[in-house]
Amino acid sequence: MNKKETCKGDWRWKDLKMHNPNIIQGAMVSATDKDDGFQDVRTSSNYTEPTLVGNVCLVADLVALGEGGSLDHERIHMHQGGGNCPQ
């Protein structure tokens, strides 16, 4: 059973001006503003591309909680070369 899959059906929504019908609630995206607002600019991956780098602090906290432990910011937020996670 060798079936070829394509994604071309989903591209029709990319450049439309109407709201995206394929909304993922709680998705991590790379560009919210200082008030946690989000601009639906589909032509720029700077806005809509999900990233772990942009959410690394959240991911580290969720992993720590998922392991049944508590948040120890000294242990889980060790950075090399700068950049700090809010505590």
Return per-residue pLDDT of the chain as tens, 87 residues.
566 656 555 666 667 777 766 666 666 666 667 787 777 777 777 667 766 666 677 777 777 777 666 666 565 555 444 455 555
Give residue-wise pLDDT tens across range 54-66.
667 777 777 777 7
Give residue-wise pLDDT tens across range 36-47.
777 777 777 766
Helix ranges, 1-87 (H): 45-48, 56-66, 73-76
Domains of the chain: which residue ranges?
8-51, 52-87
Q: Which two tokens stand for residue 64?
A: 């720590």
Q: How many helices (H) and strands (E) does the chain have?
A: 3, 0
65 Cβ contact partners less than 8 Å away, ≥ 6 residues apart: 71
Q: CA 30 to CA 35: how far, in whole Å?
A: 14
pTM, 2 dp: 0.31
